[in-house]
Structure 1
C-alpha cells in the first residue's frame, strides 16, 4: 500500500514537474516569440527611419538642384540683360557717331560752299577791279 502511495506520489510529482517544465518552456517560447516580434518591429521602425532620412536627403538634394537651376537661370537672364544693354549702348554710340559724322559732313559741305562762295565773290571783286582799271585806262 505504502509502496503504491509512494509510486503514486512519485508519478504525481513527475507529472507536476513535467507540467511545470512544459509551462516554463511554453512561457520561454512565448517570451522568445515576443522578443522576436519586438525585434521585427524595431527593424521595421529602423527601416522606416532610414527611408524617411533617405527621403529627406533626396528632397534636400532636389531643393538644392532647384536652387542651383534657379541661380543659373537668373545668372543667364542677367547676362542676357547685360548683353542687350551692351548692344543698346553700342547702337546708341553708332547712332551718335553717325549723327556726328553727318553733322560734321554737313558742316564741311556748308563750309566748302561758304568758301566756294567767298572765292566766287573774290573773283567777282577781282573782275570788277579789272573792269574798273580797264575803264580807267580808257
Structure 2
C-alpha cells in the first residue's frame, strides 16, 4: 500500500513538472498571427452584426414614427370632418330659424295691414 501511494505521488509530481514546462518558442510565434487574425475576424463580424442591429432598430423607429404621424393625420382629418359637419348643421338650423322668423314677420305685417283695412272699412267716411 505504501508503494502504491508513493507511486501515485511520484506520478503526480512528474505530471506537474511536465505541465510547468514552457512550450517551444517557435510554436507561439507561428500561432500568434493566426490567432490574431482569427480574433480580428471575430471582432469585425461582431462590429458588422452591431451595425446591422443598429440599422434595423433605426429602421423600426422610422417605421413607428411614420405610423404615428399617419395616425395623427387621420385623427386630425376626422376631427376636421366632424367640425365641418357640425358647422353645416348649425348653418342649416340658422337658416331654418331665419325662415321661420321671416314667415312670422310677414304674417304680422299682413295681419297689421288687414287690421288697418278692417278698421278703415268699419269707420264711416265723413
TM above 0.5 = yes
1:56-75 correspondence runs (5 A): 56-75=46-65
TM-score (norm 2): 0.73
CA distance in 2, matches of 1:83, 1:106: 34
Corresponding residue to 2:108 among 114, 118, 135: 118
In the TM superposition, what whole-angstrom CA distance separates every residue of 1:25-65 from its partner, at most 9, and x where no partner exists? Answer: xxxxxx5xx61x43332222211111111111111111111
Residues 17-56 of structure 1 aligned to structure 2 (within 5 Å): 35=26, 37-56=27-46
Give the aligned partner of residue 82 of structure 1. 72
Deviates more, 1:40-49 or 1:100-109: 40-49
Q: How does 1:88-127 map to 2 (within 5 A)?
A: 88-127=78-117
Change (3 A) 1:117 1:40: farther
Q: Which runs of 4+ in 1 moved over 3 A?
A: none
Flag structure 1 segments of 5+ consecutive residues without an equivalent. 1-30
Query: TM-score w.r.t. structure 1 length?
Result: 0.68
Pairwise CA RMSD = 1.8
Q: Which has the higher helix share?
A: 1
How many correspondences in the alignment? 103
- Work out which of the two has the higher radius of gyration on C-alpha atoms and give 1 or 2: 1
In structure 2, stretches of 5+ residues that fail to align are 1-23
